């Protein structure tokens, strides 16, 4: 894929090497990285577009868009978010990465530029992180550049650009590994601090799968660095650095652990959910060609192989695993020498691939028996392990090929040429078998691309030394950049930012009104799945619109919220009258649905017209006095009760039998006025008509962080209708105040602050005492 490549591949490669005339200039590496950033992000950087790949548009854009408004509304840390699913914890949810350093950019710069930087900046950080890691391993300058580009712009990291927590954590993983090696070899306190800070940043990203994949990578790096030169205490220092880093990340981890215990993950994720994205073994061939199982930018192709390899899913979890054919070839060259120092990386690659295979191999079912892993979804996430190991092996292979004597380089040509042959044969056969017959033109294009890259790779190794080793290394880095840049552009789709930021016309009558509560029926309709960026919550939140009965996008909703949503549809299935009564009960003012008669073929991301706004008659509002009490023990009881009660459910409160026993007759009526409703505080004025007590139903998610007071005295806040709230108020005029707090967030911040002070002490200790020992 080199520009101007002629049929005489060997002569062309030698000519390119000679043209560089020796050692490449210092600007060569930064220029390559800048060119790659432009290749994948040009439209976002210069044409006013923004990234919209999958979860970026469907979840992270609306979630990030409300960070700054919530902070301003709270005048500090936003503990509660009233816009998602009738209200949900915000700071405690690790999915929001509220305490990650990159999130602070939302308070300083315009949102659109920050959101684009969330995608592009980690790629540059990852490149630099792998660069310094390879330098710590003693690799040549050219190998540093090669490894940095292969990691920062390889298929794995580009695939995580729509999975921000993984991206934020994985981009600094090589830097963490470098500090671990430096601790073992040199044992300096400053390296302990460095490792702790990097691991703390990974913890603040809140991605448990990446954190669990970190220890095997660190162990492989230490073992491969011939740790016999280190003292046992230095290995303990590595463990201490991980503990200190965990403490630094406590602001996310501590409240996140408490929050996770209240979600469906606490009881373990069912196998059918956890295994839904298991890596098909055939994807191992993505080590040699990017489109071995289909084209993401071609709907027909994607749906075909998606149904075939990922039942129930349109796309894989990781869109690509392609590290570049040259990277794979150099990794095989490193393994060909059978050096013991590389065995740990080979083991990490093998174990990681088997874990990522999920239910295709017995390892994942065994791992799921462990407590922490039982709550994880999608084993394909563990493709991080082989992806990282292949890049590290490739940096070793790079220097072996570059600096080996002529006879040694000739001995390496066999495996390298074998890789090229394998790429042509196996890749072509697999693509021919997987591609639908109607997409043969794509197959021809893929085969031509594969042949070109394979032949150029083979020519590069055959004529490596013709133009000088440094020039040959530069051409290798150039080939890598061209290959990854061309393969990765489709992984970061964009659209004009004005389209992404502009609410659909159907929402415009609701903008600026905080008394509206939406229910998105369209997101629950089968055809509505194609409108995820328009129809599925939490998208409306970016325009200040609150929603209820949201689907649990990432299994981080409160457990009773998810149960209530599932129970609602089981109860209302096939009964539109009951559904409307239940929506009035929850205070829903508007329903977003698909317009009748819209064919599924007309639905797409760009179509705005299929949505229809339907107003609900006489919604109950945020708080009201229930005129009927029903006793329910769980969601199943609730379903049976509302079916029995029928339309009268709109004024009914379903509570625990112990509470219902206090109302042998119907509760007394009352006038309810919402005096003040802020993001973390609610003030209600109640005028109970008596003579019995009134039951005030509050259409806000129940959480033990909400504390209720009646005329200044504490009172019980009751869970009502599976997930909502309620209070019992005696006859007469009263004030009920609800205030939200989360002591786990405060405790996490205190632990993080203490860990930061400990890091400062270690830094000062390093400055006053001369550094000793060896360094990498």
- CATH number, domain of 661, equals 2.60.420
Q: Is 172 within a domain?
A: no
Cis peptide preceding 691, ω within 30 of 0: yes
Q: Does 41 fall in a domain?
A: no
Other Cβ atoms less than 10 A from the Cβ of 695: the count is 28
- pLDDT at res. 502: 87
Q: Are residues 590 and 687 in the same domain?
A: no
Distance of CA 576 to the CA centre of its chain: 36
Backbone angles phi, psi at 304, to 5 degrees: -65, -60
Buried b (16+ CB within 10 A) or exposed e, 749-776: bebbeebbeebeebeeebeeeeeeeeeb
- Measured CA to CA, the distance from residue 496 to residue 502 in angstroms comes to 10
Eight-class DSSP state of 683 = E
Cβ–Cβ < 8 Å for 604, 499: no
pLDDT in tens, 737-764: 999 999 999 999 999 999 999 999 988 8
Give the CB-side neighbour count of residue 150, counting CA atoms within 13 A: 35
pLDDT digits (tens, 9 = 90+) for 631-641: 999 999 999 99
DSSP state of 293: T
Q: Residue 396 pLDDT more than 80?
A: yes
CA–CA distance, 121 with 438 (Å, rounded to integer): 39
Centre a 10 Å sphere on the Cβ of residue 287 and count the other Cβ atoms it contains: 25
pLDDT given at position 99: 96
Distance CA 218, CA 212 (A): 11
CB 293 within 8 A of CB 305: yes
The residue whose two tokens read 């309709």 is 525
Number of folded domains in the chain? 3
Which pLDDT score, from 0 to 100, does residue 412 have? 57
Are the CB atoms for 668 and 55 separated by under 8 Å?
no
What is the strand order of the sheet 670-677 is part of?
Answer: 670-677, 681-688, 732-740, 706-710, 713-715
In this structure, the answer to whether residues 427 and 521 fall within a common structural domain is: no
Query: Is residue 478 reached through a cis peptide bond, with omega within 30 degrees of 0 on the bond before it?
Result: no
Mean pLDDT over each residue of the chain, to the nearest integer: 84
* Confidence at 546, pLDDT banded by 50, 70, 90: very high
**Maximum mean pLDDT: which of 48-57, 84-93, 414-423, 565-574:** 84-93
Predicted pLDDT of residue 315 = 77
Q: What pTM was estimated for this model as a whole?
A: 0.89
pLDDT grade for 429, boundaries at 50, 70 and 90: low
> Does residue 759 sit within a domain?
no
> Are residues 74 and 680 in contact, defined by beta-carbon separation less than 8 angstroms?
yes
CB atoms within 10 A of CB 377: 18
Same domain for 548 and 631, yes or no, is: no
Same domain, 397 and 538: no
Q: Sort strands 706-710 and 628-631 into parallel, antiparallel or unpaired.
A: unpaired
Contacts of range 297-300, beta carbons closer than 8 Å, 24 or more positions apart: 297/490, 297/493, 298/439, 298/442, 300/436, 300/438, 300/439
| pLDDT per residue as tens digits for the range 161-214 | 999 999 999 999 999 999 999 998 877 889 999 999 999 999 999 999 999 999
Same domain, 413 and 549: no
pLDDT at 6 (0 to 100) = 37
Q: What is the dihedral of CA 339, 341, 344, 350, to 10 degrees?
A: -20
The C-alpha torsion from 50 through 52 and 58 to 62, rounded to 10°, is -10
Is residue 225, in this structure, part of any structural domain at all? no
Q: Give yes or no: residues 534 and 507 share one domain.
A: yes
Collect all residues with Cβ–Cβ distance below 8 Å to 358 and sequence separation of at least 6.
275, 277, 278, 279, 364, 378, 379, 380
Question: At a CB cut-off of 8 Å and minimum separation 6, what does 643 contact?
Answer: 571, 575, 578
Q: Say if residue 283 is in the same domain as residue 357.
A: yes
566 part of a folded domain? yes
Strand order through the sheet with 694-698: 623-625, 694-698, 724-729, 718-720
- The CA distances from residue 713 to 709, 710, 731, 737, in Å, are 5, 5, 16, 10
Pair 466, 365 in one domain: yes
| Domain, as residue range, for 398 | 272-502
User: Where is the domain boundary, 553, 584, 615?
Assistant: 615
439 and 526 part of one domain:
no
Asked whether residue 410 carries a pLDDT value surpassing 60, the answer given is: no
Residue 512 has pLDDT above 80, yes or no: yes
DSSP characters for 668-702?
PPEEEEEEEE-SSEEEEEEEE--SS-EEEEE-S--
Segment among 219-233, 290-304, 723-737 with least mean pLDDT? 290-304
**Residue 355: strand, helix, or coil:** helix
Q: Does residue 319 or residue 295 have the better pLDDT?
A: 319
Residue 551: Cβ within 10 Å count: 16
**Above pLDDT 90, what percent of the chain?**
54
Identify the weakest region by mean pLDDT among 58-72, 155-169, 316-330, 714-728: 316-330
Q: What is the predicted pLDDT for the residue at 371?
A: 77
How many whole angstroms separate alpha carbon 269 and alpha carbon 264?
Answer: 7
Interstrand relation of 694-698 and 546-548 (parallel, antiparallel or unpaired): unpaired
Q: How far apart are CA 567 and CA 634, in angstroms?
A: 10
Instruction: Find the range with the poorest average confidence among 27-36, 69-78, 459-468.
Output: 459-468
Write down which residue in 615, 636, 659 finishes a domain.
Answer: 615
Q: Where are the beta strands (DSSP E) in 569-618?
A: 590-594, 611-615
pLDDT of residue 247 exceeding 70 = yes
Strand-pair partners of 726: 697, 718
Q: What is the dihedral of CA 505, 507, 508, 510, to 10 degrees?
A: 160
Q: Is residue 756 part of a domain?
A: no
The reported pLDDT for the residue numbered 515 is 87
309 pLDDT higher than 60? yes
Answer whether residue 420 shows pLDDT above 60. no
pLDDT score recorded for residue 476:
85
What percentage of residues in the chain have a pLDDT greater than 70? Answer: 82
Q: Are residues 449 and 534 in the same domain?
A: no
- At residue 231, the pLDDT reads 59
Q: Using DSSP bridges, classify how beta strands 623-625 and 628-631 pair: parallel, antiparallel or unpaired.
A: unpaired
Based on the fold, state whether residues 643 and 530 are members of the same structural domain.
Answer: no
Q: What is the pLDDT, as a whole number, of residue 374? A: 82
N residues, the chain? 776
Are 351 and 467 in a shared domain? yes
Rg of the chain, C-alpha, whole Å: 29
- State the average pLDDT over residues 500-516: 87
Give the model's confidence band at 17: pLDDT under 50 very low, under 70 low, under 90 confident, else very high: very low
Range 768-773 average pLDDT: 52
DSSP 135-193: HHTT--HHHHHHHHHHHHTSHHHHHGGGSHHHHHHHTTHHHHHHHHHHHHHH--HHHHH
User: Token pair for residue 608?
Assistant: 């705005």
Whole-angstrom distance, CA of residue 488 vs CA of residue 9:
25
| Longest distance between any two alpha carbons in the chain, whole Å | 100
Mean pLDDT check: name the lowest of 121-130, 373-382, 638-647, 715-724. Answer: 373-382
Tell me if 83 is assigned to some domain. no
Q: Of 615, 642, 657, which residue constitutes the final position of a domain?
A: 615
Unique residue bearing structure tokens 């591949």? 9
Residue 473 lies in a domain: yes
């Amino acid at each position: 894929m080199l520009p101007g490549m002629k049929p005489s591949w060997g002569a062309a490669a030698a000519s390119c090497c000679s043209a560089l005339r020796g050692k490449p200039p210092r600007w060569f590496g930064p220029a390559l990285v800048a060119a790659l950033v432009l290749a994948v992000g040009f439209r976002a950087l210069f044409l006013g577009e923004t990234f919209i790949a999958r979860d970026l548009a469907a979840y992270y854009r609306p979630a990030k868009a409300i960070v700054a408004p919530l902070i301003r509304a709270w005048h500090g840390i936003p503990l509660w978010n009233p816009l998602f699913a009738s209200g949900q914890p915000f700071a405690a949810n690790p999915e929001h990465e509220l305490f990650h350093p990159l999130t602070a950019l939302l308070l300083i710069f315009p949102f659109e530029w920050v959101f684009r930087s969330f995608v592009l900046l980690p790629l540059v950080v990852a490149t630099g992180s792998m660069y310094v890691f390879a330098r710590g391993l003693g690799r040549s300058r050219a190998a540093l550049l090669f490894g940095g580009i292969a990691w920062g712009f390889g298929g794995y990291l580009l695939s995580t650009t729509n999975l921000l927590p993984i991206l934020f954590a994985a981009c600094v993983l090589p830097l963490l590994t470098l500090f671990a090696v430096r601790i073992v070899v040199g044992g300096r306190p400053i390296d302990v601090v460095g490792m702790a800070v990097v691991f703390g940043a990974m913890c603040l990203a809140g991605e448990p799968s990446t954190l669990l994949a970190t220890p095997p990578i660190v162990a492989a790096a230490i073992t491969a660095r011939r740790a016999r030169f280190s003292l046992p205490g230095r290995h303990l220092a590595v463990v201490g650095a991980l503990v200190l880093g965990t403490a630094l990340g406590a602001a996310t981890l501590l409240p996140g652990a408490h929050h996770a215990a209240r979600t469906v993950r606490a009881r373990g994720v069912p196998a059918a959910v956890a295994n839904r994205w298991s890596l098909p073994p055939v994807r191992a061939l993505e080590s040699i060609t990017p489109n071995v199982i289909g084209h993401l930018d071609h709907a027909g192709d994607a749906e075909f192989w998606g149904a075939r390899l990922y039942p129930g899913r349109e796309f894989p979890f990781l869109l690509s695993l392609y590290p570049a054919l040259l990277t794979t070839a150099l990794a095989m060259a490193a393994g060909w020498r059978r050096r013991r120092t590389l065995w740990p990386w080979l083991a990490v690659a093998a174990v990681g691939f088997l874990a990522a295979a999920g239910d295709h191999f017995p390892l994942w079912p065994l791992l799921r028996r462990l407590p922490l892993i039982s709550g994880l979804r999608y084993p394909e996430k563990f493709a991080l392990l082989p992806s990282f190991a292949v890049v590290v092996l490739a940096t070793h292979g790079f220097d072996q090929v570059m600096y080996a004597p002529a006879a040694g380089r000739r001995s390496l040509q066999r495996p390298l040429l074998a890789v090229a042959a394998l790429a042509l044969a196996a890749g072509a056969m697999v693509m021919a078998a997987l591609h639908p017959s109607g997409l043969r033109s794509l197959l021809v294009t893929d085969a031509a691309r594969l042949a070109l890259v394979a032949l150029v790779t083979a020519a590069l190794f055959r004529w490596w030394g013709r133009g000088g080793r440094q020039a040959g290394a530069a051409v290798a880095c150039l080939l890598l950049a061209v290959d990854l840049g061309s393969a990765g552009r489709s992984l970061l789709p964009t659209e004009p930012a004005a389209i992404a930021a502009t609410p659909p016309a159907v929402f415009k009558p609701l903008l600026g009104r905080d008394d509206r509560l939406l229910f998105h029926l369209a997101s629950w309709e089968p055809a509505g799945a194609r409108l995820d960026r328009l129809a599925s919550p939490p998208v409306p939140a970016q325009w200040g619109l609150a929603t209820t009965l949201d689907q649990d996008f990432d299994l981080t909703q409160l457990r009773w919220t998810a149960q209530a949503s599932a129970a609602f549809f089981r109860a209302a299935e096939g009964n539109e009258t009951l559904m409307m009564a239940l929506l009035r009960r929850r205070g829903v003012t508007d329903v977003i649905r698909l317009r009748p008669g819209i064919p599924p073929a007309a639905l797409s991301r760009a179509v705005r017209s299929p949505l229809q706004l339907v107003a609900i008659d006489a919604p109950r509002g945020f708080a009201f006095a229930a005129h009927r009490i029903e006793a329910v023990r769980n969601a199943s009881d609730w379903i049976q009760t509302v079916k029995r009660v029928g339309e009268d459910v709109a004024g009914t409160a379903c509570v625990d039998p112990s509470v219902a026993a206090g109302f042998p007759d119907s509760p007394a009526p009352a006038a309810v006025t919402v005096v003040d409703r802020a993001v973390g505080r609610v003030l209600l004025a109640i005028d109970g008509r008596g003579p019995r007590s009134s039951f005030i139903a509050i259409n806000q998610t129940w959480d033990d962080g909400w504390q209720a007071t009646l005329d200044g005295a504490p009172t019980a806040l009751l869970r009502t209708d599976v997930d909502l709230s309620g209070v019992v108020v005696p006859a007469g005029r009263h004030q009920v105040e609800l205030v939200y707090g989360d002591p786990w967030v405060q405790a996490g911040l205190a632990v993080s602050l203490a860990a930061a002070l400990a890091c400062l002490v270690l830094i000062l200790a390093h400055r006053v005492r001369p550094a000793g020992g060896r360094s990498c």
